Structure 1
Amino acid sequence: MKKILFIRRDNIGDLICTTPAIYAVRQKYPDAKIGILVNSYNADAIINNPDIDEIYVYEKAKHVPEKNKLSVWWSNLKVLMRIRKEQYDVAIGCGSYSPRLVRYTYMTGAAVRIGYLSKNVDKSKSYNMPICEPEKPLHEVEMVFNLLSPLDINNTPSPLRIFPLSDETQKVKNFLNISDIKEGKPLITFHISSRRPENRWPIDKFIELARLIISRYDANILLLWSPGSEKNPYHPGDDEKAELIIKSVPQIIPYRTNHLRELIAVLSFANLVVCLDGGAMHIAAALGKPIVTIWGSTNPDRWRPWGVKHIILQDENKKAENISIEAVFNAVEKLLA
């Protein structure tokens, strides 16, 4: 194989769950050119990955509301033309079947196009090397890894891979050096944000959990959240919720991450991460951090933290708000031990 292209159109966690497959291809074909097509929202998750030779970034119109759709489409077409000019031998459409993913894979011009085939789709309108979606539920890492079987790769997926940028890491180190950090005490990171309402944990519970951890362990707690106002219709954030926590728990240390690369760097310093199901959880897993995840409606068999110590807290109604403070604190204690 000379040139292999991965296509990952989805969110941050989906892309990070693709990194074991990329690593496996690099190990099997060390001299191949490996490219990946990602969107501007998740690109920072693989920007420093040594397994990848070239990153192609396209935009989703909903991520750039300041641009008109025609401009976005034209820009994306130019990205696809760059890919076609490169003449990739193989393109892998990563993720469950979708007509748009098939279309992107076809437009790369690759000779071999691999991806999952839905039972209800005409084969002639899909990939020229389709794979049937597995009947039993698999983790997303395993789902992507299965797509490598036509490349004669059938081993066990590695841990997730992510690589903080050195300048961002230094920036966080400088911040922590001037912050009121208690030496010799664990650094516990809270990430309070989730896109899905049913996956969110009430802010008053985060406040009480922080107070309990500080009183019992005198630990350092670093607060992270999705930046921006909750009133922003395109990119709603949690600035207001973070401000409430900061006012209620003066000992907490806030760090506003404006870019994904900053979030990656900050999480690399944590001893333990308390978060909701989402991209931050997968970043923490890729960094090898122990994780307490307050879970909502997502299927943990498909999306649990891969390859690290973790505790998932999910109630029968699949609503994160129902998880008690005591349950989260007990999980924190177990992982700290």
Structure 2
Amino acid sequence: MKALVYRMGGLGDSLLVYPVLEILTNKGYELTVWGNPEYFKLAVRAGFCKRVIFYQPKEDFDLKIVFSKNRELLNSNSSIHINPIPEEKIWVVDYYLKKLGLENEKFSKTLPLAHQPSAIQGSKFKVQDGKLCIVHPGSGSKKKNTDLTFFFELEKFLKKSGFDVLYIVGPAEVEFTNIFKNSVYIEDSLEIANTLLKANLYIGLDSGVSHLSSYLGVPSIIIFGPTDPEVWHPIGENYIIIRYEGCKPCFPNVCEDRRCLNPDFLISEFCKYVKKLEVSQAQIMGIKNQ
């Protein structure tokens, strides 16, 4: 049986479809993904699909799953169309599986991606004693980003706690390479994954890199602002979410004051968690999703 899954979107959007790919592959489908190859090549590496393409295939498929609002796309008797944005307040992965009648199927909570040992690409950064915290200071939308003063204060606190700090930046925050000297610019998703796997702790906003960190099993602290973590939280079992509960999620129509991303609040909340941690990796690995 041959199946085609269509999903265009960013890294985080793509990763949230991976459980569907894994389940279909385990059911015996020869799976092709029509999406951004950069974001789905991790699925190929994990064995969740056979190939990824960027343009519409010409061959026939027994099953077509289309994550798009465009119902004319791949419209046929073998097509299942799913709005990529949940129509109810439910975790997006559960929503997808429910729509496909796969809600009772099991999937990996940790992405089975073999680590490829390598130096941190494009960086002379060296880790001392295995105490590395990787920070991603951006996201795919500036509406979800906090003021950079938060990261300056965060880095001071992390260094006092014994961590080396490395920033990952990509195309969405390329200007940060001049702001954070201890940063590495990476576009390749496999290289991002390999770099994240070197970390003892990860900190980031609601971004594709944060989703990947959690999915890889790296202990992660993820900051949600205007987006709803009940709907958009990552796959994984070793992460903590920080969010200001004094206001409701409002993305994409974000309010002007954005109290949910106030740097003083975030530092205060962040310190509550990190102060509970010992510097040793064994105790850092004890972070659990709350």
- What's the TM-score once normalised by structure 2's chain length? 0.80
State the SS of the aligned residue for 1:312: strand
Q: Deviations over 1:15-71 (max 9, x none)?
A: 111111211122222xx31111102563444342312112111xxxxxxxxxxxxxx
Partner AA of 1:330 in structure 2: K
Whether the aligned pair in 2 keeps the contact of 1:35 and 1:55 (CA below 8 Å) is yes
Q: In the alignment, is residue 273 of structure 1 matched against residue 246 of structure 2? A: no
Whether the aligned pair in 1 keeps the contact of 2:37 and 2:53 (CA below 8 Å) is no
Whether the aligned pair in 1 keeps the contact of 2:177 and 2:185 (CA below 8 Å) is no
Whether the aligned pair in 2 keeps the contact of 1:224 and 1:254 (CA below 8 Å) is yes
The answer for unaligned runs of 5 or more in structure 1 is: 58-78, 119-132, 228-235, 247-252
Partner AA of 1:205 in structure 2: F
2:168 to 214, 217, 224: 224
Partner residue in 2 for 1:237: 173
Partner residue in 1 for 2:27: 28
Q: In the alignment, is residue 321 of structure 1 matched against residue 287 of structure 2? A: no
More displaced 10-residue stretch of structure 1: 134-143 or 296-305: 134-143
Partner residue in 2 for 1:196: 141
Q: Deviations over 1:97-119 (max 9, x none)?
A: 512xx33332xx6x51112379x
Q: Deviations over 1:193-222 (max 9, x none)?
A: 12323311222221111111111x221111
For the pair shown, the structure with the greater C-alpha radius of gyration is 1
The structural deviation recorded for 1:153 is: 6.9
Partner AA of 2:64 in structure 1: A
Q: Deviations over 1:271-317 (max 9, x none)?
A: 11100001011111121112111211111111112222222222234
CA distance in structure 2 between the aligned counterparts of 1:23 and 1:310, rounded to whole angstroms: 22
Q: In the alignment, is residue 180 of structure 1 matched against residue 116 of structure 2? A: no
Over the aligned positions, Cα root-mean-square deviation in angstroms equals 2.8
Partner AA of 1:221 in structure 2: V
CA distance in structure 2 between the aligned counterparts of 1:98 and 1:160, rounded to whole angstroms: 29
Whether the aligned pair in 1 keeps the contact of 2:37 and 2:52 (CA below 8 Å) is no
Whether the aligned pair in 2 keeps the contact of 1:45 and 1:162 (CA below 8 Å) is no
2:69 to 82, 98, 110: 98
Whether the aligned pair in 1 keeps the contact of 2:16 and 2:234 (CA below 8 Å) is no
Q: Any residues of structure 2 matched to 1:1-337 within 5 Å, and which? A: 2-29=1-28, 32-40=29-37, 42-57=39-54, 79-80=55-56, 83-85=57-59, 87-94=60-67, 98-99=69-70, 102-106=71-75, 111-116=77-82, 136-149=88-101, 154-159=104-109, 161=111, 163=113, 166=116, 169-172=117-120, 179-183=125-129, 185-215=130-160, 217-227=161-171, 236-239=172-175, 241-246=176-181, 253-315=182-244, 316-317=246-247, 319=258, 320-322=260-262, 323-334=265-276, 336=284
Query: What percentage of residue pairs aligned between the two structures are identical?
Result: 19
Matched residues, number: 266
Whether the aligned pair in 2 keeps the contact of 1:46 and 1:162 (CA below 8 Å) is no
